[in-house]
């Protein structure tokens, strides 16, 4: 028998149910398709493409150690996999379930194409997440809309067993371990791949996770959070394995960290049940979003004149990553303070984040905009209070806004307009593009809570 393992965003050999199931056949063809549709969406920015290539090179190297190799194709995933299934006379194809409408449609098409080849498609759940979408539901609904009750059930629900990494794989007769494109030799701060992901996960669990409950909101502290999100997004590491290993530590920090992994599952089950909420408001408020291209551009470029917002946006541009607290602050600033449609912000994030993920990005943006599962859609984060609280010494702002690095007090760093127009001009930093108090009133009135 011959099986095809189709890799999507599960680029690992450890705890990969797709590969483990395919490995039960006599011969296995591991495949990754560079899908034309995704390439055409602007999703494949340079840093993300680089990360993906590093992931694929690492996966290929690991597969070669087991005697196989990764076959890469470009085009439409369904057509390419169906063609390969025909060529190698595969009897089964294995694929991970995903939450988006795009993934669901692709899966249906693939199933139909393969049926014509008398080849069976098996879709594996809980490859990207700890629990499958729909594993726990409240009475009378297909998904949880509130996190806390979801989390309680999530924590008590049995999980699948960890899938072991295959030791020996045999390619189908006639297929040789083709040369795959090797990764560009990068010196990036965040190299992609399972090897690097596992290394970072172990380091995080051994050195830092136990402090997570107190450190995670500290904007300036580099080891405050795990920075594992790109590795989780591309599936270089398994969320289930990570959750199990963290939970085994039985510390307050590790428990708080596992709770964040539950947030990831929570958003996944919302989007899987309501795929349209990738674009449409989950809870519409009839918002009259403002069309303000200049403000949007100032926000994207990190020159709104509110330092804590600009620091976040510049971190995103420089690193392809942003601290969660900064995502909350910058997101709230765009959607509520500037009252610009959250979709514009989500699109910008999705393009620039290495962890840019349809599920987590869109659902968090909806949360931030108050159109999602947040139960307090009227509250507006005050960026100045947030700065005082989460960057009390102004260190984060100084790091990302060199023009403010030499100001003396945290108050000056966070509110440089207080120095006066002349000094602000000399610093080369803009005055705020918006009056924060007036903007908050505008938003709350718009939402009918004036």
Q: Is 414 a residue that touches ligand FAD (CB under 6 A)?
A: no
**Out of 368, 404, 413, 433, the residue judged to bind ligand FAD by CB under 6 A:** 368
Annotated binding site for FAD: 212, 225-229, 257, 355-357
Please give the structure tokens belonging to residue 181: 């494109």
Q: Is 349 a residue that touches ligand FAD (CB under 6 A)?
A: yes
Q: Is 340 a residue that touches ligand FAD (CB under 6 A)?
A: no
Centroid of chain to Cα 193? 15
Binders of ligand FAD among residues 192 to 221 (CB under 6 A) are 216
Q: Is 229 a residue that touches ligand FAD (CB under 6 A)?
A: yes
Q: Is 133 a residue that touches ligand FAD (CB under 6 A)?
A: no
Q: Which stretch binds ligand FAD (CB under 6 A): 109-117, 122-130, 364-372, 378-386?
A: 364-372
**Out of 2, 16, 180, 226, the residue judged to bind ligand FAD by CB under 6 A:** 226
Measured CA to CA, the distance from residue 367 to residue 57 in angstroms comes to 36
Burial degree of 42 (CB within 10 A; 0-12, 13-18, 19+): exposed
Least distance to ligand FAD from the beta carbon of 293, Å?
20
Q: Is 151 a residue that touches ligand FAD (CB under 6 A)?
A: no
Asked whether the beta carbons of 94 and 22 are under 8 A apart, the reply is yes
Least distance to ligand FAD from the beta carbon of 328, Å?
5
Buried b (16+ CB within 10 A) or exposed e, 145-182: bebeebbeebeeeeebeebebbeebebbeebeeeebee
Please give the structure tokens belonging to residue 202: 């172990």
Cα dihedral 316→321→322→328 (10° resolution)? 100
Measured CA to CA, the distance from residue 11 to residue 18 in angstroms comes to 10
CB closer to ligand FAD out of 106 and 216: 216
Least distance to ligand FAD from the beta carbon of 221, Å?
11
Asked whether the beta carbons of 325 and 316 are under 8 A apart, the reply is no
Q: Is 263 a residue that touches ligand FAD (CB under 6 A)?
A: yes
Least distance to ligand FAD from the beta carbon of 76, Å?
25
Helices and strands (H and E) in the chain: how many: 21, 5
In order of 16, 143, 149, 178, 242, the CA distances from 95 in angstroms are: 10, 23, 30, 22, 21
CB closer to ligand FAD out of 124 and 227: 227
CB closer to ligand FAD out of 32 and 234: 234
Binders of ligand FAD among residues 274 to 333 (CB under 6 A) are 324, 327-328, 331
Contact positions vs ligand FAD (CB under 6 A): 216, 225-229, 232-233, 260-261, 263-264, 267, 324, 327-328, 331, 349, 353, 355-357, 360-361, 364-365, 368
């Amino acid at each position: 028998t011959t099986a095809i393992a189709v890799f999507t965003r599960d680029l690992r050999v450890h705890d990969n149910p797709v590969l483990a199931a395919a490995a039960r056949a006599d011969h296995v063809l591991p495949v990754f398709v560079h899908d034309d549709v995704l390439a055409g969406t602007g999703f494949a920015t340079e840093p993300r493409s680089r990360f993906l290539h590093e992931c694929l090179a690492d996966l290929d190297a690991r597969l070669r150690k087991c005697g196989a190799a990764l076959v890469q194709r470009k085009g439409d995933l369904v057509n390419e996999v169906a063609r390969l299934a025909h060529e190698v006379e595969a009897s089964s194809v294995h694929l991970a379930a995903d939450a988006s409408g795009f993934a669901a449609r692709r899966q249906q098409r693939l199933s139909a194409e393969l049926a014509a080849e008398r080849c069976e498609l098996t879709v594996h759940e809980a490859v990207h997440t700890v629990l499958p979408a729909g594993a726990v539901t409240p009475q009378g609904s297909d998904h949880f809309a509130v996190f806390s009750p979801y989390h309680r059930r999530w924590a008590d629900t049995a999980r699948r067993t960890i899938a072991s990494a295959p030791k020996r794989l045999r390619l189908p007769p006639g297929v040789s371990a083709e040369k795959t494109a090797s990764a560009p030799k990068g010196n990036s701060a965040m190299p992609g791949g399972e090897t690097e992901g596992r290394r970072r996960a172990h380091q995080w669990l051994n050195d830092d996770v136990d402090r997570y409950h107190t450190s995670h909101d500290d904007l300036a502290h580099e080891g405050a959070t795990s920075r594992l999100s790109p590795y989780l997004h591309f599936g270089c590491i398994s969320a289930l394995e990570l959750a199990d290993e963290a939970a085994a530590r039985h510390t307050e920090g590790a428990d708080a960290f596992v709770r964040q992994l539950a947030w990831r599952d929570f958003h996944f089950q919302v989007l899987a049940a309501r795929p349209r909420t990738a674009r449409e408001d989950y809870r519409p408020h009839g918002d009259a979003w403002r069309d303000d291209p200049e403000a949007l551009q100032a926000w994207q470029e990190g020159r709104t004149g509110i330092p804590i917002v600009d620091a976040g946006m510049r971190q995103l541009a420089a690193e392809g990553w942003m601290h969660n607290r900064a995502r909350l602050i910058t997101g709230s600033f765009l959607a509520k303070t500037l009252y610009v449609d959250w979709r514009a912000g989500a699109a910008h994030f999705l393009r620039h984040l290495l962890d840019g993920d349809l599920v987590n990005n869109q659902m968090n943006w909806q949360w931030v905009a108050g159109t999602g599962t947040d139960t307090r859609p009227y509250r507006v984060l005050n960026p100045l209070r947030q700065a005082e609280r989460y960057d009390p010494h102004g260190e984060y702002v100084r790091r990302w806004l060199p023009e403010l690095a030499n100001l003396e007090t945290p108050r000056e760093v966070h509110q440089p307009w207080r120095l006066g127009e002349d000094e602000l001009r000399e610093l080369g930093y803009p005055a705020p593009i918006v009056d924060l108090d007036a903007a908050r009133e505008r938003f709350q009135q718009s939402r009918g809570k004036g």
